[in-house]
Amino acid sequence: MDDLTIDDIDVISNRIIKDIDSLSRDEANEAIRGAKHWPKLYEDLIAAAISDNEVADIDDFTKLQEENNALSADLNEFLTGRNEAADRLQEAIVGGRTDDALELLRDIVPGHQFLSPEAEKMLAGIRGQGALAL
């Protein structure tokens, strides 16, 4: 083996890759795991890489990918809802509908006190007298 050139090694490697590519996933997995050097390869390279977080187990990766996709869908739905609420808020402000605008603000930012109780009472007495600057 010491007299092999880099070209010889490339040819052998390409043949091995071609042979493995022709196998089904299970056959290739069985061939690799049945190899004489598999335990050493696994312990020294694969297990170490997984434990060092340099590579991910495919099942872990798939699970994380599914969680990421679900979170992305939730975020997209949330942002779409916020945009629709912002549009309705703008329409309420332009239309001078302060009650609707305040309700929309409370829906958009739950738990936030936009007006003091005194201002709420004052607003209740002003209904229909122009737009309120929010």
Q: Which residue has the tokens 């009650």?
A: 99
Tell me what the pLDDT averaged over the chain comes to: 80
Per-residue pLDDT at 130: 52
Residue 89 placed within a domain: yes
Clarify whether residues 13 and 40 are in a common domain: yes
pLDDT score of 1 more than 70:
no
* Cβ contact 133:125 at 8 Å: no
Cβ-count burial of 2 within 10 angstroms (0-12 exposed, 13-18 middle, 19+ buried)?
exposed
Number of structural domains, the chain? Answer: 2
pLDDT score of 103 more than 70:
yes
Range of the domain at 39: 6-55
How many percent of the chain have pLDDT more than 70? 85
